[in-house]
């Protein structure tokens, strides 16, 4: 499963990811990971979720971010859900076209490793590419 929450600042995406992560921790039978830029969600998200702060890594593009995801999956085959908060904060040089290609790669990871992804995107829905539009929740 891939879900994308898209909207401009102030549209409730952060509140939604906190709710989704905490719910996933309670119902999923594997490990839940939340990737975010900084530790601002640390106090709101269950301690059972593994938090990954992208500030610890010099991520410059979606290829590097994809490498991070591959490392998380390779390190823990029990990961069932990866949440990505504010993708463009983690991938500073990212744009909507690159995001569309990245979502196509997430589809492959989902099938191969049986991992679900939920992502927050700060942008107008009208700017989304075809791959992103398929998964807007």
- Phi, psi angle pair for 40, to nearest 5°: -65, -25
Helix (H) or strand (E) holding 107: helix 96-113
Rg (CA), the chain: 14
Residue 76 has pLDDT above 90, yes or no: no
Q: In this predicted model, which residue has the larger pLDDT, 68 or 12?
A: 68
- Phi, psi angle pair for 116, to nearest 5°: -90, 150
Superfamily of domain 2-133: P-loop containing nucleotide triphosphate hydrolases (3.40.50.300)
Confidence at 11, pLDDT banded by 50, 70, 90: confident
Domain ranges of the chain: 2-133
- pLDDT given for residue 3 in this prediction: 94
Helix (H, G, I), strand (E, B) or coil at 58: coil
Q: In this predicted model, which residue has the larger pLDDT, 58 or 35?
A: 35
- pLDDT given for residue 26 in this prediction: 92
- pLDDT given for residue 8 in this prediction: 85
* 113 contacts 102 by C-beta, under 8 angstroms: no
Q: How far apart are CA 59 and CA 46, in angstroms?
A: 25
């Amino acid at each position: 499963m891939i879900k994308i929450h898209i909207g401009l600042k102030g549209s409730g995406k952060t509140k939604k990811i906190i709710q989704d992560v905490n719910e996933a921790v309670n119902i999923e039978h594997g490990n839940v990971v939340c990737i975010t830029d900084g530790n601002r969600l640390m106090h709101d998200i269950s301690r059972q979720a593994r938090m990954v702060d992208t500030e610890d890594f010099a991520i410059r593009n979606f290829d590097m971010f994809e490498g991070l995801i591959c490392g998380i999956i390779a390190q823990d085959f029990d990961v069932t859900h990866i949440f990505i908060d504010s993708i463009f904060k983690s991938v500073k040089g990212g744009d909507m076209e690159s995001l569309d290609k990245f979502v196509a790669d997430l589809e492959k990871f989902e099938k191969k490793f049986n991992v679900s992804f939920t992502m927050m995107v700060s942008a107008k829905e009208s700017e989304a590419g075809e791959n992103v539009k398929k998964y807007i929740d």
